[in-house]
Amino acid sequence: MLEILVAFGLDLAFGDPVYPWHPVRLIGQLIQKMETWFRTHVGGGRFAGLLLALFVPSLVFLSIWFICELAGQIHPLLKTLLTIYFIYSALAIKDLESEARKIYTLLVKGKLEKAREHLARIVGRDTKNLNETEVIRGAVESVAESFVDGILSPLFFAAIGGAPFAMAYKAINTLDSMVGKKTPAYRDFGSMSAKLDEIANWIPARISWLLIGIGAFFLNGRNMEAWRIGFEDGASRAFPNSLVPEASFAGALGVQLGGTNSYEGQKVDTPKMGYAMRSLEVEDVRRAYRLMRSSAWTTLIFSLILSYVVWLFTIKIVDPIAL
């Protein structure tokens, strides 16, 4: 529990610095090399993609587990520090808020072109020709979806299995970002990575429905709207997972999200979430990242409780007399 608490505090205070040996950057480099190897020796189809999707998270899990256990043999404090470091590296609370805040500031200043360029850094859709309303929608949807990918899921897996689980999840999430694309080159090869990411996020996404509602209660009191819309337009659907946090945000903010997006020139219709009680406005970007931060605190409390429950369960299995 202590490791999760400290890692959370470090991310809030310092964000996630960019440096060559960052664990997620190393995972990205590993994926690039293994993609080349599998395409060369196995092919570019689904089977090769399946092998990649299984190999990378497994290797990351075993590597982090080995490093932490070896550190524990040297000194327990060293293992604790490394665990904190890896969990901290898996989080993106401050960075997510910072990215959204930059878009908000650019829109307030009327710099739509710059806002489009910055939005392109955090979304997969085409942003070159978006109007202001669509830039706002893209920013709000990105904050909502990234709440699960960058905050809830890493903390969820850290609470269950510590640093090895948290970093294995980041490997799955990074795989999806890099090869889980619906382009001709990755439609088959990346399909298993995309599916694995959906599976890994399925439970955290549904938990987000509850936590975003609680976050909304403390932010603006719209918890019931967040839960209602989040369930009707998100949690009641099997896939995709992104609908759950996006629908919950739509309810909490009192706006409608979803619609038509363009990916590499191809139009894709996404389900509408929430009710168009009013038009999207620039201030909604600010409201979104404030809701994300409020929900992040509820996620911390949830993850600490889950970590304690897992610890009690482990003690009961390993040493029943201890209870």
How confident is the model at residue 318, as a pLDDT?
Answer: 60
pLDDT over 60 (residue 321): no
Give residue 129's pLDDT: 86
Instruction: Give the burial class of 66: count Cβ atoms within 10 A of its Cβ; 0-12 exposed, 13-18 middle, 19 or more buried.
Output: exposed
Half-sphere exposure of 194 (CA within 13 A, CB side): 15
Question: Which residues are bridge partners to 263 per DSSP?
Answer: 266
* HSE-CB of 231 using CA atoms within 13 angstroms: 7
Q: Which residues contact 18 (CB under 8 A, 6 or more apart)?
A: 25
Write down the pLDDT at residue 240: 86
Q: What is the pLDDT of residue 277?
A: 81
Predicted local distance difference test score (pLDDT) of residue 263:
79
Would you say residue 185 has pLDDT above 90?
A: no
Number of Cβ within 10 Å of residue 13's Cβ equals 8
Residue 235 has pLDDT above 60, yes or no: yes
Q: What is the pLDDT of residues 84-100, one digit of tens each?
A: 999 999 999 999 999 99
- Determine the pLDDT at residue 294: 96
Is 90 exceeded by the pLDDT of residue 229?
Answer: yes
Q: Model's pTM, two decimal places?
A: 0.92
pLDDT tens-digit map of 39-72? 988 888 889 999 999 999 999 999 999 999 999 9
Q: 201: which residues sit within 8 A by CB, 6+ positions away?
A: 148, 149, 153, 173, 241
Cβ(214)–Cβ(232) below 8 Å: no
pLDDT at 76: 94
Cis geometry, peptide bond prior to residue 17 (ω within 30 degrees of 0): no
**The pLDDT value given to residue 266:** 79
Residue 261 · residue 268 · CB < 8 Å: yes
Structure tokens at 134: 């669509």
Mean pLDDT, the chain, integer: 91
Region 199-219 average pLDDT: 95
Tens digits of per-residue pLDDT, 150-176?
A: 999 999 999 999 999 999 999 999 999
Which token pair is 123?
């979304």
Flag the least confident range among 15-29, 168-182, 202-216, 254-268. Answer: 254-268
How confident is the model at residue 320, as a pLDDT? 58
Per-residue HEC secondary structure of the chain comes to CHHHHHHHHHHHHHCCCCCCCCHHHHHHHHHHHHHHHHHHHCCCCHHHHHHHHHHHHHHHHHHHHHHHHHHHHHCHHHHHHHHHHHHHHHCCHHHHHHHHHHHHHHHHCCCHHHHHHHHCCCCCCCCCCCCHHHHHHHHHHHHHHHHHHHHHHHHHHHHHHHHHHHHHHHHHHHHHHHHCCCCCCCCCCCHHHHHHHHHHHHHHHHHHHHHHHHHHHHHCCCHHHHHHHHHHHHHCCCCCCCHHHHHHHHHHHCCCECCEEEECCEEEECCCECCCCCCCCCHHHHHHHHHHHHHHHHHHHHHHHHHHHHHHHHHHHHCHHHC
Tens digits of per-residue pLDDT, 170-179?
A: 999 999 989 8
pLDDT in tens, 238-270: 678 999 999 999 999 999 998 888 877 778 888
The count of other CB atoms within 10 Å of the CB of residue 191 is 19
Q: Give CA–CA dist 57/39, Å, rounded.
A: 18
